[in-house]
Amino acid sequence: MAAEKKKTKPANSKATSRTSVTLPTELYGTLNRIAAEQKVSVSWVIRDAAEKYVADRWPLLSRGG
């Protein structure tokens, strides 16, 4: 995988952190298909899933909580 160039964020955007995960090939393929169907990136799908996971497990920590 090629290194990504850093993108400049608008002044009003939220602070973010970057992480790296290793996924089984089959799971990554499924995430790729979901991303393609929704016309978003795999990163977006993973962020969406992580946000839903946290909201389900710890509702008080979810957005606006």
Tens of pLDDT, residue by residue over 9-20, are 555 568 989 999
What is the number of domains present in the chain? 1
Distance CA 31, CA 41 (A): 9
Does any domain span residue 31?
yes
Q: Are 65 and 57 in contact (CB under 8 A)?
A: no
Q: Each residue of 29-59: pLDDT tens digit?
A: 999 999 999 999 999 999 999 999 999 998 7
pLDDT confidence of residue 59: 77
10: in domain? no
Q: Domain of 33?
A: 25-61
What is this structure's pTM? 0.68
Better-scored residue on pLDDT, 65 or 16: 16
* 17 in a structural domain: no
